[in-house]
Amino acid sequence: MSKASEKQAEQAAALEELKATLKEGDRLYTILRSVSGNGMSRVISVVKADASGEISRLDWLISKAGIYTRTPFGAKVDGLKVRGVGMDMGWDTVYTISRYVGFELKQEWL
């Protein structure tokens, strides 16, 4: 198996795990960690709270699925690198995740 096909298989498995973790209508909470100096990119974390109040951070799983990339190991802030300007980037992040998993998710800032 080539490295490219291994990576595709890993991304597909992570996407299936993400789909199993989420269900339609779930509310994902976004946390703004950092904004670049020119305002063109930001670092955002995505978390989910279940019915019992347990918080699950989804950054690693989202990056494994190939939806967004994470900040490099040892960076000042840890989260997903999101590029863009001129709109609510937390909403856009959750909307993009919704497109990948195939069902609607809700977004709220923390």
Q: How far apart are CA 66 and CA 11, in angstroms?
A: 6
Q: Answer for the pair 11, 64: CB distance below 8 angstroms, yes or no.
A: yes
Taking only the tens place, the pLDDT of each residue in 18-40 is 999 999 999 999 999 999 999 99
Domain count, the chain: 1
Q: How far apart are CA 25 and CA 62, in angstroms?
A: 18
Taking only the tens place, the pLDDT of each residue in 45-89 is 999 998 898 999 999 999 999 999 999 888 889 999 999 999 999
pLDDT of residue 75: 85
> Who wins on pLDDT, 10 or 51?
10
pLDDT of residue 57: 96
Residue 59, domain extent: 3-109
Q: Is the pLDDT score of 1 beyond 80?
A: no
Nearby residues of 32 by Cβ (< 8 Å), 6 or more positions away:
42, 43, 44, 90, 109
Q: Whole-model pTM above 0.85?
A: yes
